[in-house]
Amino acid sequence: MVSSTEPTTRVQPVAARQRLLLAAVEAFAAKGFNATTTRDIANGAQMSSAAVYVHFRSKEELLFELSDAGHRSILDMIDEVDDPASSPGDRLATVIGAFTEHHAREHVRARVVNYELASLAPDHLETVMELRREITRRVRAIVDAGIENGDFDAADSQATTNAMLSMGIDVARWYRAENSLPPEEMGKFYARLATRMVGLRDRD
């Protein structure tokens, strides 16, 4: 017979890891990775300092898990919103719009994911950089498709792609809900900027 306490035992480690990850996001965003201590993270999760090392080998491993998950979520988002059957202009607007909306809506987490990369261990950094290269590759493929069929007038697809992605990422650095457009409107605004960057006429 299964004990009535067994489900709680199974769920507890997952819940504890999530609490620590959420606390790490807040601490890293507020103080930066280097100034944050494991005690700061544990206090934020309302757990003992020793609990951090039960679930993570180091503070850096917490950062890596956040960074890895954050970049994979962007790839999942692109898969979800991008329709290869649509025109390059519509695809670009949709992807850059969703990309920017994400960085506005999740600006606290996105600041940590994008601006603390230098604190990752070399092997972890390479894993995350490979994900970033894949994000760039997918967006550049849309830009290249628009150049190839004549819809876009962009001299350098790589530079254009880097500029658009950098623009969207930077939203996380300065975005504050109280004095900015709502995330959805921010996405629409940046989508229009992106189509203008590639020389596509505004269809509105």
DSSP string for 76-142? HHHHHH--TTS-HHHHHHHHHHHHHHHHHHTHHHHHHHHH-GGGS-HHHHHHHHHHHHHHHHHHHHH
**What is the structure's pLDDT at 201?**
60
- Residue 48's φ and ψ, nearest 5 degrees, are -75, 155
Q: Which domains, ranges and CATH numbers included, belong to the chain?
A: 1-56 (1.10.10.60), 58-197 (1.10.357.10)
**What is the structure's pLDDT at 9?**
37
Q: What is the pLDDT of residues 42-73, one digit of tens each?
A: 999 998 888 888 899 999 999 999 999 999 99
Q: Which residues of the chain have pLDDT under 70?
A: 1-14, 201-204
Provide the b/e sequence for 22-47 (b: ≥16 CB within 10 Å): ebbbbbbbeeebeebebebbbebbeb
**What is the structure's pLDDT at 49?**
84
DSSP string for 14-45? HHHHHHHHHHHHHHHHHH-TTT--HHHHHHHT
Q: Is the pTM of this model over 0.85?
A: yes
| Cα separation, 183 vs 35, whole angstroms | 30
**What is the structure's pLDDT at 51?**
85
**What is the structure's pLDDT at 192?**
96
| Cα separation, 59 vs 105, whole angstroms | 25
